[in-house]
Amino acid sequence: MINLIRNELTKIGKKKSIYIVILLTIGYMVFSNFMYYKNSEYSYSYYSDGYVSYLEEELAKLDPSKESDVTMYLDLKTQLEIAKLSEQYEEGSWQANVIQNNAVEYIGELVRYETLGITQDQEYQEVKQNYEEFLEKLQEDDWKYFVNKELDTVETQIAEIEESKNKTVDKSLLQQYESTLQDLTLQEKILQWRLEKNISYANSEENNRLNQYATYARQVNEQAQIEGKNHTQQKEYQELVANMKLCEYDIIHNTNTQSTDNAKGQLAYVFSNYEVFLLIFVIMVAGVMISEEFNKGTIKLLLVKPYSRTKILLAKLITCFIILVLASIVLIALQGIIGGVIWGWDSYADPVTVYDFNINQVKEISIIPYVFTILLARMPMYILLITLSMAISTIVLNTALAVILPFLGYFAGTILNQLSLIYNLQFMKFFVPLNWNLETYLYGGLGEMQGMSMVFSIVICLLYFLLMTVVMTIVFKKKNIKNI
């Protein structure tokens, strides 16, 4: 058996097509990493270069003395003043972001009073004074002033809602109060984190995490209120909780474990990004394993040796699995080296974080064990596609079909999975595409459909594997080689 496997590996090593696929994989991997790296450096402007000119042109067409134009004029004038003020600060700075989010409440009132000619009113003086204070804090680089101001407003609103809640017995009103309190409490938490972790409003990874946490937390709160959630809703809720907890972990620990803008982040998704190249490699090997022997007539030389047909077939199948493992390791190594060269090596020391529902907490994992865990979870899919390719090669002795049909199965499986989940086709859980990627079960994750578990999916995969290998073995043992 060992000699048979060694001979198969030697024959595979002599195929030029194998090295072509490897070179294509390396080329695409370098290109992909480089493009990700360059895109991560880009910043996008909130206002386009001609935005101010456009607003000025539009304003010139309006007459604020006309009742039909005044509303539009006030709106455009406010936008113009905000745009002009924003241009005084660097795009992405905390000042620019505060202006875009908060300046309308100051400038809008000021523009209204001045346009309508109400400049002697006491309220106008107060609005003007508030705006001048707003400008002063921007110039003094005092972003904490705005955080504290927001925090005071939120805390006041919380106190008012709590007081109103204690005075009512109406269930619908109580529910509204609870929902409002949840959102206000979330805002309070975010603002307190800003002060505690020294996170300004400027564009940064830390600020992005705060915003992401707020988005996930609101979605979690909304999903939690849904009673009698179906399996799809439960799975969505679980994913939202995991994302929220991972953001919270990074905020508390001042880390950035979820970023893909580094070598570690790219390596963590190596199979998602380059899986198709791995499949091209291993399916090509499996697809020619039997058909080529018959088409070239070398099967006769193989069968005269003192090995049974079953042992020969088994040796070829084991060889395919060895190639799969070696190709996977090479893929990981290539991404590790290319990613390190392009992105830098430092991030490899950082852990990957996952939310483990078995223990209900965030778990740290080193990058290499994590990547091999993902590989192990995807291995049933790779093994089944290899076996399918080899079975087709054995049954029809056509290399092209043996390579093309598994790929069609791979892509069609993705489409069928989506349709099954959209239309809740429960019978589809007995078909292999919904079961061959065990990644969904990692760390306590739910299956794609109700009643699915890791054991269930493994059993389904084993049944399909045994079915293909039995049929392939029977056909191979009965193949007539007299006319070859």
What are 60-82's pLDDT values in tens digits? 999 988 889 999 999 999 999 99
Distance CA 96, CA 90 (A): 7
What confidence tier does 39 reach under pLDDT thresholds 50, 70, 90? confident
- HSE, CB side, 13 Å, CA atoms: give it for residue 185: 11
- What's the confidence (pLDDT) of residue 38? 86
Contacts for 206 with CB less than 8 Å, ≥ 6 apart = 197, 199, 251, 254
Residue 44 pLDDT greater than 70, yes or no? no
Give 273 or 302, the one with higher predicted confidence. 273
Residue 375 pLDDT greater than 80, yes or no? yes
Residue 444 pLDDT greater than 80, yes or no? yes
Structure tokens at 132: 């001048």
The residue among 412, 407, 411 whose CA lies nearest residue 389 is 407
Give me the long-range contacts of 462-471 (CB less than 8 A, separation at least 24).
464/384, 464/432, 465/383, 465/384, 465/387, 468/384, 468/387, 468/388, 468/391, 469/317, 469/387, 469/391, 471/391, 471/395
Q: Kindly report the pTM of this predicted structure.
A: 0.88
Residue 357 pLDDT greater than 60, yes or no? yes
- What's the confidence (pLDDT) of residue 41? 65
Mean pLDDT of 45-57: 78
Check if the beta carbon of residue 392 is closer than 8 Å to that of residue 398.
Answer: yes
**φ and ψ at 364, to 5 degrees?**
-95, 135
- How many residues does the structure list for the chain? 484
Alpha carbon 195 to chain centroid distance?
Answer: 29
Distance CA 33, CA 363 (A): 27
Q: What is the pLDDT of residues 14-27, one digit of tens each?
A: 888 889 999 999 99
Residue 121 pLDDT greater than 90, yes or no? no
What confidence tier does 469 reach under pLDDT thresholds 50, 70, 90? very high
Average pLDDT, the chain: 91
Q: Which of 57-66, 305-314, 335-344, 415-424 has the highest mean pLDDT?
A: 335-344
Strand partners, 365: 352
The residue type found at 274 is Y
Minimum mean pLDDT range among 61-65, 237-241, 349-353, 380-384: 61-65
Structure tokens at 185: 């409490």
Distance CA 277, CA 21 (A): 8
- What's the confidence (pLDDT) of residue 395? 92
Residue 43 pLDDT greater than 70, yes or no? no
The residue type found at 33 is N
Residue for token digits 């474990």? 257
Residue 483 pLDDT greater than 80, yes or no? no
- What's the confidence (pLDDT) of residue 46? 56
Residue spans per domain, the chain = 2-42+260-478, 51-141
What confidence tier does 484 reach under pLDDT thresholds 50, 70, 90? low
Minimum mean pLDDT range among 148-157, 226-235, 293-302, 322-331: 293-302
Q: What distances in angstroms separate CA 192 from CA 84, 187, 253, one per listed residue?
A: 31, 9, 15
Distance CA 214, CA 208 (A): 10
Q: What is the pLDDT of residues 204-219, one digit of tens each?
A: 999 999 999 999 999 9
What confidence tier does 141 reach under pLDDT thresholds 50, 70, 90? very high
Check if the beta carbon of residue 285 is closer than 8 Å to that of residue 323.
Answer: yes
Distance CA 123, CA 110 (A): 10
- What's the confidence (pLDDT) of residue 455? 96
- What's the confidence (pLDDT) of residue 55? 92
Distance CA 103, CA 90 (A): 16
Residue for token digits 């009113």? 121
Strand partners, 356: 361
